[in-house]
């Protein structure tokens, strides 16, 4: 299969809009027939024409990227970041959706993200995204009109022959942090390598991600080295950054190297 995935331009956007308009017209006719039939049977599935104008606006203002899947010189699908992915209805069933989804995941990896988060709509697309390795979160169904799903992008590192140091890293919600028995929603335990500068290289990225919330909360991070708590504070604080906490392109906190010398157990 010969194909290309290229950044959008105005001519490609116009081409995509033509088949989005046709898809929307078919939906409107089908919806009217469904309504006249007293809503018997399954509701017709709507495409993404209703979101297209906002996607174009974001692209023209430089706030987002749109990529187009080109097959035989025609734009058969498009990807708007991780927000919208659609294939022309006349070209479905040929694996084009998987090609664009793979591209999205690889792009997120290259950006340094720890996780890809998406909203699945319509629900008929859920089996496809499960096949692509995404986990659906039933507790957040209906979030924004679709089903929330995510895929972790694990990152591992080869350790050298330096001294091994046991570590434990946990991420906590604010409520859990101040409970009588704090329990992390994510925890990473293992043996890292002490480097020549005193920092500890982890064998894997420790990432802060809680699929049950929208990530816009105050998280706490707890870092233990050889059984000793060296830091327990809000992940966004400067002290946490000095201990090794960083933020990726998706604004999720993560740690790949621990700096024990900057520990601060306060709060």
Tell me the pLDDT of the chain (267 aa) as tens digits.
689 999 999 999 999 999 999 999 999 999 999 998 999 998 898 899 989 999 999 999 999 999 999 999 999 999 998 888 999 999 999 999 999 999 999 999 999 999 999 988 888 899 999 999 999 998 775 555 688 999 999 999 999 999 999 999 999 999 999 999 999 999 999 999 999 999 999 999 999 999 988 766 789 999 999 999 999 999 999 999 999 999 999 999 999 999 998 766 554
* pLDDT in the model for residue 145: 65
Q: Is 103 exposed, middle or buried (0-12, 13-18, 19+ CB in 10 A)?
A: middle
Domain-by-domain residue ranges, the chain?
Answer: 4-110, 114-153, 164-262
CATH of domain 4-110: 3.40.630.30
3-state helix, strand, coil in the chain (%, to 5): 30, 35, 35
């Amino acid at each position: 299969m010969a194909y290309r995935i290229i950044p959008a331009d105005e001519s490609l956007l116009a081409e995509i809009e033509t088949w989005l308009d046709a898809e929307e017209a078919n939906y409107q006719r089908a919806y009217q027939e469904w309504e006249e039939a007293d809503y018997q049977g399954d509701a017709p599935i709507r495409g993404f024409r209703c979101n297209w104008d906002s996607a174009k606006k974001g692209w023209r203002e430089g706030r987002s990227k749109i990529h187009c899947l080109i097959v035989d010189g025609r734009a058969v699908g498009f990807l708007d970041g991780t927000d919208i992915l659609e294939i022309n209805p006349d070209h479905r069933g040929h694996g084009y959706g998987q090609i664009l989804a793979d591209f999205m995941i690889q792009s997120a990896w290259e950006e340094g993200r720890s996780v890809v988060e998406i909203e699945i709509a319509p629900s008929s697309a859920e089996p496809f995204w499960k096949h692509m390795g995404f986990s659906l979160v039933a507790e957040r169904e209906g979030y924004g009109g679709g089903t929330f799903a995510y895929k972790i992008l694990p990152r591992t590192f080869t350790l050298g022959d330096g001294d091994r140091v046991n570590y434990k890293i946990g991420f906590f919600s604010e409520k859990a942090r101040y409970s009588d028995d704090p329990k992390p929603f994510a925890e990473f335990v293992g043996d890292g390598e002490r480097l020549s500068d005193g920092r500890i290289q982890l064998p894997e990225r420790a990432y802060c991600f809680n699929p049950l919330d929208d990530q816009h909360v105050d998280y706490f991070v707890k870092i233990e080295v050889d059984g000793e708590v060296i830091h327990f504070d809000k992940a966004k604080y400067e002290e946490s950054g000095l201990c090794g906490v960083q933020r990726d392109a998706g604004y999720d906190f993560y740690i790949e190297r621990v700096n024990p010398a900057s520990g601060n157990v306060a709060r």
